[in-house]
Chain A
Amino acid sequence: MTPLPLWTDILVSVLVLAGALIALIGSFNLMRLRTFFERVHAPAVIATLGCWCVVAGTVLYFSLQSRAVAANGLLIAVFLAVTVPVTNIFLMRTGLFRARLAGQDVPPPLSGSGEGSKAAAAVRPASGQKNS
């Protein structure tokens, strides 16, 4: 296995270190931010910029090392680009639903057919009876 030229090493190092630093920033903000609706945005930077930086570094390194296109890593980035929004939408709806159940000051459901509104409507009369 011949050693790679210096510029590829520097490029791979910069990409991997940038991805790792972005992951650290995202995780640190997950710890630092106050409310759930601020915190839910913090890991998005890991799944987009951090993941793409590290995946670009790995694909570049293995492609240059094996002298062939090693695009396996791109599969991971594409998979994350599909799945992370789905998870985040579900987590945000969960946060909204549970904040409504706890009676916090959040926007009301838009229509009567939403998932949160049915359960909230089922709970709300019970809590109203408890108060009266």
Chain B
Amino acid sequence: MNPVLSYALPAALFILALAMACSLVPVLRGPTAQDRVLALDCLALNAMLLMLVLGIHQGSSNYFEAALLIALLGFVSSMAMAKFLLRGEVIE
């Protein structure tokens, strides 16, 4: 790996971890429930980007599956929580 990538990828990983910490604050603090759901959705997006960057860093394309799974589960869980807040039940 060239020196450019070996400096840039840990920096990107650090920035993404910082972004995850920033989006963790509204999960704990958020005044209403929908704020917390929104912040959890944002946290899942950041985790997915972290997985993609980690895939380049390790030079392995197996991380694509992990990123796809995180995106899928983030969508389903946000959807279920939003539906629960809207109607009081998930499946009716």
| A and B pair up | yes
* Residue in A closest to B75 when the chains form the complex, CB atoms: A83
Check A23 against B86 for contact (C-beta < 8 Å).
no
State whether A97 and B52 are in contact (beta carbons under 8 Å apart), knowing that A10-B4, A31-B26, A87-B75 are contacts in the complex: no
- Kindly count the residue-residue contacts between A and B in the assembled complex, taking CB atoms under 8 Å apart: 166
Contact residues in B for A9 (Cβ distance below 8 Å): 2, 4-5
Q: Please report the C-alpha to C-alpha distance between residue A86 and residue B79 in the assembled complex, in whole angstroms.
A: 8
Supposing A27-B22, A30-B38, A65-B59 touch, asked if A51 and B45 sit within 8 A by C-beta, the answer is yes
Contacts of B8 in A (CB 8 A): 12-13, 16-17
Contacts of B22 in A (CB 8 A): 24, 27-28, 30-31
Is the pair B83, A54 in contact by a Cβ cutoff of 8 Å? no
Size bracket, chain A contacts: 35 or more
User: Which of A46, A57, A72 makes the CB contact (< 8 A) with B45?
Assistant: A46
Min CB–CB distance A42 → chain B (angstroms):
8
A50–B20 CA distance with the chains assembled, in angstroms: 14
Residue picked from B1, B8, B18, most chain A C-beta under 10 Å: B8
B9, B25, B37, B72: the one within 8 Å of A91 (CB): B37
* B window 19-72: CB within 8 A of A: 19-20, 22-23, 25-26, 32-35, 37-39, 41-42, 45-46, 48-49, 52-53, 55-56, 59, 61, 64, 67-68, 71-72
Residues of B within 8 A of A (CB): 1-2, 4-5, 7-9, 11-13, 15-16, 18-20, 22-23, 25-26, 32-35, 37-39, 41-42, 45-46, 48-49, 52-53, 55-56, 59, 61, 64, 67-68, 71-72, 75, 78-79, 82-83, 85-87
